[in-house]
Amino acid sequence: MNPNMDYRNDIGFALSADATDPLYKFRKEFLFPQHNGKEVIYFTGNSLGLQPVSVKQALFNELNDWEKYGVEGHFKAKNPWFSYHEMFKEPLTHLVGALPHEVTVMNGLTVNIHLLMVSFYQPQGKRTKILCEAKPFPSDYYAIESQLKFHGLNTKEHLIEVQPREGEHTIKHEDILRAIEENKNELALVFIGGVNYYTGQVFNIKEITQAAHKAGAYAGFDLAHAAGNIQLNLHEWNVDFAAWCSYKYLNSGPGSVSGIFTHEKFANNKELPRFAGWWGYPANKRFLMEPGFTPAFGADGWQLSNAAVFAMAPHKVALEVFAKAGFDALCEKSHRLTGYLEYIIDTVCAENKNANLQIITPRNISERGCQLSVLTGNNGKKIFDYLSDNGVIADWREPNVIRLAPVPLYNSFEDVFVFGQLLNNAFKNI
């Protein structure tokens, strides 16, 4: 049942777990910030993934081709810029479980949420409502709110936020399904974060999609905290659309490009409303520069602009590291490594009377990725500052949550063990 029963809070355990970890070698492919001459314990890959060693060369190659070819780099560069975005189809199909024509990369995440909602949020008659999880990421909330306003609707009447039950932090799956069912005559769109950024809770995308469709609504997902973190099977789950960013678990650098998924069933749909641009036009006819937009087949038909090569170059090599590691192996390590962090936190709490930490992320491994969100008592900020002063980069969320993400691609069992020692010291010293 529990693959993690053998955990021990000692360095011998951590070192031997690292020694037998087939993914340990990937740590060397990333650059770690330093603290007092040593690598930090970096637990914020859920916010900004570390820089792959290969990124500098990848950027340098593009600079070189720009120097060498000027505009002709669109066709003569080693990776021709004209079709640069096409290189992402293959790796992304594996990451999100999609067909090649269902995915592309473009713009930033919030931009893409808007573009996709232009197509998939079409309030009509009584069917006007959007359903999301309580406390979505603020940008998603602003996007939803402004889309409603754009259609002349207000959030109070037209946005349904499914809440956790009294005294709970995460949302019951059955409550989401019930809210969809209860609003089935008025629901236009279900739009949920695949993994909640605050609690780390993984939502059941497959069943939420089924319920939304049964209610006659579209189902879309923000996968910012899911892509590269949990197994996704968007095509099979029949998800209508999704978008994610590439700078969190996908390690592609600050503000790097976003990915989108639109299901195959819309690939040839020319009726969906959309905001168009020349890169969404069929590539073989793009340079005829003709008036009158027709969308390219599949997700490509949502593109607006030519490829942002300097954002995509890091994305390309970052995805190559993922491919080398293999996603199944990553998920397996993720369960074990995050389980170890859970064990260590529980152990520290058992040993210190003043350690009033509560893990609010689900303890069931099928309902979480690698992030654990820890609710602290009123000494929380002091604990967090102690950890920071001692070389831990974690994430403080007001009012009192510490988010910790041991990332299987570059974090080690030793990282988790040392973190536990520091956490223990923190409670002894404050």
What is the DSSP code (8-state) at residue 29?
Answer: G
* Bridge partner residues of 375 (DSSP): 358, 401
> Which CB sits closer to ligand PLP, 40 or 224?
224
- Alpha-carbon Rg for the chain, nearest whole angstrom, is 23
Nearest CB to ligand PLP, comparing residues 61 and 204? 204
Q: Which is nearer to ligand PLP, 224 or 313 (CB)?
A: 224
Judged by CB, which is closer to ligand PLP: 79, or 110? 110
Question: Are residues 40 and 33 in contact, defined by beta-carbon separation less than 8 angstroms?
Answer: yes
User: Considering beta carbons, is residue 52 or 108 the nearer one to ligand PLP?
Assistant: 108
Which amino acid is it at 294? T
State in angstroms the smallest separation of the CB of 239 from ligand PLP.
16
Contact 201, 170 (CB under 8 A): yes
Which residue in 138, 254, 113 sits closest to 189, CA to CA?
A: 113
Task: Provide, rounded to whole angstroms, the least separation between the CB of residue 68 and ligand PLP.
Answer: 32
Site for ligand PLP, rule CB under 6 A: 108-110, 137, 139-140, 193, 197, 222, 224-225, 245
Minimum CB distance to ligand PLP smaller for 302 or for 340: 302
Q: Write down the least CB distance from residue 62 to ligand PLP, Å.
A: 22
CB atoms within 10 A of CB 300: 24
Taking the complex as a whole, the smallest distance from the CB of residue 259 to ligand PLP amounts, in Å, to 11
Q: How far apart are CA 247 and CA 249, in angstroms?
A: 6
The CB-of-49 to ligand PLP minimum distance in angstroms stands at 12
Token pair 């404050």 is found at 430
- DSSP string over 97-117: T--GGGEEEES-HHHHHHHHH
- Contacts (Cβ under 8 Å, ≥6 apart) of 314: 51, 52, 55, 58, 59, 251, 252, 253, 256
Task: Write down the least CB distance from residue 395 to ligand PLP, Å.
Answer: 12
